[in-house]
A = this chain, B = another copy of it.
């Protein structure tokens, strides 16, 4: 497994400077965000990646369909198709798909929410096949089940995509979102056995979470409470050998200089995941 920088970790910085700084620091893989690509345009984003020698490991993100219908649902589906096109142009292997919440305060059942997610994914299947890009369903933390994701377990994500082609439909495992799950190891191994383990993102969990931005209180790998060594060993056991994205949503980290964030990310990942491939700083 090798280190990748997810742009969420360096959110205030644009794609060009981020790609240059990552490349200079010996980080060769980058998890892209649609907003950051749109800022410069897809063609220019492609030039930036080529010029800096960066390989995209993933694209964030589309979805949020579980609590939508009518015009809003169609807009979400269309946005997913456009994002698949962008991924194809930039040779991004997979697009993160966030299910959407049960509804707050709408309150549909989990079954109903899962069914809407499944319907949306089935509708996207032909377009995904045409582009050659995979969709990776990302379970979010149970905190977010009402407003952002009806899917909070890896095993549940696998159940929702059951029967859809494995080369186009997989799961994205994020440590902060899934570390609490008592059956996480079994689910990760099952994802690997099914050929559906698309990506692995690391970050760390501490309490208390900030208010009101509860989701932006993640910390660097190794600085919190998650047993990242165990989870990483399960991911390896499942046969995954791709990029490990450091994806840390944290307002204090976003206030730091870009190179300092990348340095901290490198040292955190090295300390918390034994054997992770990290190049020497190139400069």
Q: Give the B-binding residues of A (Cβ under 8 A).
A: 102, 104-105, 107, 109-110, 114, 141-143, 145-147, 150-153, 156, 179-182, 205-214, 224-227, 230
Please state the number of chain copies in the assembly: 2
| B180:A145 contact, CB within 8 angstroms | yes
List the 3 shortest-distance A-B pairs measured between CB atoms, nearest first: A142-B180, A145-B180, A208-B212
Q: Give every chain B residue within 8 A of A145 (Cβ-Cβ).
A: 179-180
- Chain B neighbourhood of A146, CB < 8 A: 180, 205, 207, 225-226
Within 8 Å by CB of A143, from B107, B110, B207, lies B207
CA–CA, A141 to B109, complex, Å?
19
Smallest CB-CB separation from A152: which chain B residue? B180
Shortest A155–chain B CB gap in Å is 9
Whether A227 contacts B107 by the Cβ 8 Å rule is: yes
Q: Is the CB of A227 within 8 A of B182?
A: no
Q: A104-B225, A141-B142, A143-B180 are in contact. List 16 more A-B contacts (CB 8 A).
A: A102-B225, A104-B206, A104-B207, A105-B225, A109-B230, A142-B152, A142-B180, A143-B143, A146-B205, A146-B225, A152-B182, A208-B211, A208-B212, A208-B214, A209-B209, A209-B214
List the B side residues contacting A206 at CB < 8 Å.
Answer: 104
Q: How far is the CA of A63 from the CA of B26 in the complex (A)?
A: 48
Instruction: Choose one: B104, B110, B212, B213; the contact of A182 (CB below 8 Å).
Output: B110
Q: Which residue of B lies closest to A148 (CB)?
A: B207
Contacts A/B (CB < 8 Å), 26 sampled:
A104-B206, A104-B207, A104-B225, A105-B224, A105-B225, A107-B225, A107-B226, A107-B227, A141-B143, A143-B143, A143-B180, A143-B207, A145-B179, A146-B180, A146-B225, A146-B226, A147-B207, A150-B182, A152-B180, A152-B182, A208-B212, A208-B213, A208-B214, A209-B211, A209-B214, A210-B211
